[in-house]
């Protein structure tokens, strides 16, 4: 089979190699074999290739943490050959390949209303958004939700989930095209961060957009200046959810500021819920399936590329040049 492999960590353009004659992976007793129908790229895929992610799969490994697949060998899982499923792939045998391995306990039926490319993008960003906004931040109807990198992968899902929860959503995005996309995804107002190079102007624009009370919940995949600005605009009893650091800057929280303003800085590591509280992931999966069936959430796939162009997609994603989701189809 074909598979992208990392033999030595580095940037995607140099570290990834497409091999045509890799052996199909063999599942252990806790895994099943999936034929990959589509793999949605995630920022962590780039970090994994670079060796900068919290997990470090043994070399050589195939990245691709999220997929829509078809059961090829169900083992003892109770699934049937041909079942169409979504979920996470088990590294080192990720989904940037013709076949991948997965833990069947972390797979869900692919929503029938979504085609393969959208279904591939239905798992990580929406699960992260659901657990971040509901389990961690307790977002309530009528609250204001501020979403950074709002036209990106997790950001686009957070806009839709915020609207579905009855929140007013303010987005932040880099450049007019991303602003347009975030608006189309349902954000009530969107700030172009590039239009405010001075931090105090950025903060003033956010304050105006979020209104007098400020942002009750902030969803922050960016860190750095985005986090610093969030602390200025967060509401009394607000919650800032730390989702990631795409800016490359892991901002430090000032605990004295959190104290005097009565806000919380809430960490979010969705992946840990799969082993520590799988019931939360299952509840989120049911809620998300219902929202998809109603059409309240609908993954925004901006680009579909063939397997041999995966590096192009990953490089663009790591450089902040993509919107929504980039999906690779073998
Ligand atoms: N906590 C969790 O459990 C969890 C789960 C999944 C993903 N994540 C994290 O969520 C983050 C977003 O992942 P994603 O796949 O959805 O990526 P993404 O948001 O589609 O892409 C990154 C976006 O970040 C913004 N950005 C700002 N400064 C940047 C910079 N210096 N370089 C690159 N991008 C920059 C850009 O949007 P603008 O130009 O519009 O600002 C860019 O489009 C990642 O850090 C990922 O690790 C966390």
Question: How much is the average pLDDT of 228-246?
Answer: 97
CA-nearest residue for atom 19, ligand 1, is 152
Q: What is the mean pLDDT of the chain?
A: 97
pLDDT band at 107 (very low <50, low <70, confident <90, very high): very high
DSSP letters for 101-133 = EE-GGGEEEPPTTS-HHHHHTSSHHHHHHHIII
Contacts of 244 by beta carbon, 8 Å cutoff, 6+ apart: 43, 154, 220, 221, 222, 223
CATH H-level superfamily of 3-122+299-329: Medium-chain alcohol dehydrogenases, catalytic domain (3.90.180.10)
Residue 163 in tokens: 């609207």
Task: Confirm or reject: Cβ of 270 under 6 Å from ligand 1.
Answer: yes
Q: What backbone torsions phi and psi does residue 176 show, to the nearest 5 degrees? A: -60, -35
Question: How much is the average pLDDT of 184-207?
Answer: 98
**Of all residues in the chain, what percent carry a pLDDT higher than 90?**
99
Task: Confirm or reject: Cβ of 94 under 6 Å from ligand 1.
Answer: no
| pLDDT > 90? residue 138 | yes
pLDDT band at 58 (very low <50, low <70, confident <90, very high): very high
Task: Confirm or reject: Cβ of 171 under 6 Å from ligand 1.
Answer: no
Ligand 1 atom at minimum distance from 325 CA: 20
Residue 283 in tokens: 């509840």
Pocket test for ligand 1, best of 174, 223, 246, 269 (most atoms within 8 A of CB): 246
Q: State whether CATH 3.40.50.720 applies to domain 125-271.
A: yes
| pLDDT > 90? residue 54 | no
pLDDT band at 68 (very low <50, low <70, confident <90, very high): very high
CA-nearest residue for atom 16, ligand 1, is 153
- Residue 5 forms beta bridges with which residues? 17
For the chain, which residues make up each domain, given as ranges?
3-122+299-329, 125-271
Question: How much is the average pLDDT of 31-59?
Answer: 96
Question: How much is the average pLDDT of 94-108?
Answer: 97
Residue 260 CB neighbour total at 10 angstroms:
9
């Amino acid at each position: 089979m074909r598979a992208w492999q990392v033999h030595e960590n580095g940037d995607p353009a140099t570290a990834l190699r497409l091999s045509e004659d890799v052996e199909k992976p063999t599942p252990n007793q806790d895994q099943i074999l999936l034929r990959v129908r589509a793999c949605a790229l995630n920022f962590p895929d780039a970090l994994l290739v670079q060796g900068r992610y919290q997990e470090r799969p043994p070399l050589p490994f195939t990245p691709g943490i999220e997929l829509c697949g078809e059961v090829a060998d169900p083992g003892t899982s109770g699934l049937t050959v041909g079942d169409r499923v979504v979920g996470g792939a088990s590294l080192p045998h990720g989904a940037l390949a013709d076949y991948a391995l997965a833990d069947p306990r972390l797979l869900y039926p692919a929503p029938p209303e979504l085609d393969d490319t959208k279904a591939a993008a239905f798992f990580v960003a929406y699960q992260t958004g659901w657990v971040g906004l509901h389990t961690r931040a307790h977002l309530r109807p009528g609250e204001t939700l501020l979403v950074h990198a709002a036209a990106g992968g997790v950001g686009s899902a957070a806009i839709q989930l915020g609207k579905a929860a009855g929140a007013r959503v303010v987005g932040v995005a880099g450049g007019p095209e991303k602003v347009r996309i975030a608006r189309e995804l349902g954000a009530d107002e969107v700030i172009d961060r590039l239009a405010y190079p001075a931090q105090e102007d950025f903060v003033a624009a956010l304050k105006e957009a979020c209104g007098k009370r400020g942002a009750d919940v902030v969803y922050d995949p960016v860190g750095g200046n985005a986090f610093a600005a969030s602390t200025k605009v967060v509401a009394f009893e607000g919650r800032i959810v730390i989702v990631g650091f795409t800016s490359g800057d892991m901002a430090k929280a000032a605990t004295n500021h959190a104290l005097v303003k009565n806000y919380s800085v809430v960490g979010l590591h969705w992946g840990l819920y799969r082993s520590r509280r799988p019931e939360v992931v299952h509840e989120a999966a049911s809620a998300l399936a219902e929202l998809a069936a109603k059409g309240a959430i609908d993954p925004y796939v901006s680009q579909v590329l063939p397997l041999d162009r995966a590096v192009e997609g990953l490089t663009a994603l790591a450089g902040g040049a993509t919107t929504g989701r980039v999906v690779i189809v073998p």
